Amino acid sequence: MNHPKVPRRPGSSLTASPGDVIQWTEPLIRVMRTQGRHVTAWDEFRHHGPLAGMRWEPHPAGPISHHPRHGVSYQGVDIATCLAEVFQTTRCIDTHTGKPQIIMWTPTRPVPLLDVTGTWPIRQGASAALMSAPRPVCTAWAQAIHHDLPQVEGIMTRSTMTGNAVVVLFTAAASAFPAAPDHVVSLSSDIGVLLAHAAAVELGYALL
């Protein structure tokens, strides 16, 4: 019997061994707009979903709605990857529109994350291709992870743009946020433009 590399959804309840869960303590980075529609606070989770344009949505399947118990926050571990993801549609880093900021913060406690970059997917009937599967497939798996593995507070996966690590946090991780971030850098500031320029050169993106 042939098995697809990535089933559209898990065929049975998901399991995880202790080795599949990492205790994340390293700094995280988010690039976000601070002006315009649907702006959120730096530590706010998005409970409106699942959105078709996003990859690892834990919200229940069905029409887009508000789910107080199902929130998500997408984070990176390096600035270039965050900028690659945020500006992937235009491949132009816009340092002005929406007054974007780079937010860097460190969890106040270890955050248990399911590591899908190793052999966990293949032991669940999928493969490493799960990380770059179509968005609806990844969302179906995120929904199952959120439901079947309440001991984890998010997912560590890889960016489909750079291949570097990215972190998807679920609502349970909210208590790991500090009262204030470590650093806040406006992309239009002198330092922000330098960081954006370095990323643009690395990524081959334009800079605005």
pLDDT in tens, 40-68: 899 999 999 999 999 999 999 888 999 99
pLDDT at 116: 97
pLDDT in tens, 96-146: 999 999 999 999 999 999 999 999 999 999 999 999 999 999 999 999 999
pLDDT at 6: 87
Give yes or no for residue 31 having a pLDDT over 90.
Answer: yes
Euclidean distance between CA atoms 31 and 29, whole angstroms: 7
The region, left, alpha or beta by phi > 0 then psi within -120 to 50, assigned to residue 62 is left
Give yes or no for residue 173 having a pLDDT over 80.
Answer: yes
Confidence of residue 1 (pLDDT cuts 50, 70, 90): low
Confidence of residue 3 (pLDDT cuts 50, 70, 90): confident
Euclidean distance between CA atoms 104 and 118, whole angstroms: 26
Euclidean distance between CA atoms 170 and 188, whole angstroms: 30
